[in-house]
């Protein structure tokens, strides 16, 4: 089955700096890669996703890059703010035309943005 | 985005009792829903895939007789933790893909189960 590795497990940055979280996946058939943000005790919230036919996607301060050959994808947050502090999870999935939408999650990265 | 409702948000029960958790897709139909378990400071561990009108698919190591799943309609899946014990205490979260060719999954708010 799919295996997703995520690094680093913890990341501390100063407000205004950039943060980068990296993930690798094992199954070359995976074609959908979402990133979720989870605040303590709350539900994971989708912040950005990328599909295998795209190499990069950006949404304001958040960007995701995908290298299919190397089987890795990264989350980039620029101009970090204290409210960006949370646990971030990457995930991988094979999104077929049917209902096989099972996500495999990385272990998460605790991001702390210091004021 | 789509809305997934999960109830209850918090359960405290005695050892040996059964606890039912509901997961509803409020503004879309979900033929598939997923149930996860999350321990403190850990990732989401998929327990099972709930399939509308058929049996759930359980991940390796998850006891199907312990964690009963019923997906009776296109908008409702339930997880019943039977004869709960303290080691079953955890955060349980459901999710549902919006479908329509997209794989965007929306999560419920989670249920914090504490078994005394």
Read off the pLDDT band of A1 (50, 70, 90): confident
Q: Residue A60 pLDDT more than 90?
A: yes
Q: Mark A36-71 as b/e (b = at least 16 C-beta within 10 Å).
A: bbbeeeebbeebbbbebeeeeeeeeebbbbbeeeeb
Q: What is the Cα A31 distance to its own chain's centre? A: 14
CB contact under 8 A, B34 and A103: yes
Long-range pairs of B70-74 with CB within 8 A, sequence gap ≥ 24: B71/B33, B74/B25, B74/B29, B74/B30, B74/B31
Q: What is the Cα A36 distance to its own chain's centre? A: 6
B18 to chain A nearest CA, in Å?
Answer: 23
Q: Which residues of A touch B (CB under 8 A)?
A: 32, 34, 36, 41-46, 49, 89, 93, 95, 97, 99, 101-108, 110
- Which of A1, A99, A100, A107 to substitute to test the interface with B, most B CBs within 10 Å? A99
Q: Residue B41 pLDDT more than 90?
A: no
Read off the pLDDT band of B26 (50, 70, 90): very high
User: Which residue is listed with tokens 């503004």?
Assistant: B27
For residues B77-84, average pLDDT? 97
Q: Which two tokens stand for residue B45?
A: 């561990």
Q: Residue B2 pLDDT more than 90?
A: no
């Amino acid at each position: 089955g799919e295996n997703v590795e995520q690094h680093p497990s913890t990341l501390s940055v100063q407000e205004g700096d950039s943060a980068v979280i990296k993930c690798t996946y094992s199954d070359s058939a995976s074609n959908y890669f979402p990133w979720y943000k989870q605040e303590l005790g709350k539900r994971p919230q989708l912040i950005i996703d990328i599909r295998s036919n795209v190499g990069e996607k950006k949404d304001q301060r958040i960007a995701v890059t995908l290298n299919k050959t190397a089987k890795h994808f990264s989350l980039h947050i620029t101009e970090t703010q204290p409210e960006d502090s949370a646990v971030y999870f990457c995930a991988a999935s094979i999104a077929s035309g049917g209902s096989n939408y099972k996500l495999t999650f990385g272990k998460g990265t605790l991001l702390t943005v210091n004021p | 985005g789509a809305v997934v409702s999960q109830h209850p948000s918090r359960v405290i029960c005695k050892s040996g009792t059964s606890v039912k958790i509901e997961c509803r897709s409020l503004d879309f139909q979900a033929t598939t829903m997923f149930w996860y378990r999350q321990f403190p400071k850990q990732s989401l561990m998929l327990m099972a895939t709930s399939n509308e009108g058929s049996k759930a698919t359980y991940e390796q190591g998850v006891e199907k007789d312990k964690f009963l799943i019923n997906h009776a309609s296109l908008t409702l899946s339930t997880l019943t933790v039977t004869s709960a014990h303290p080691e079953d205490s955890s955060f349980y979260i459901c999710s549902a893909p919006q479908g329509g060719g997209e794989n965007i999954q929306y999560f419920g708010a989670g249920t914090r189960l504490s078994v005394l």
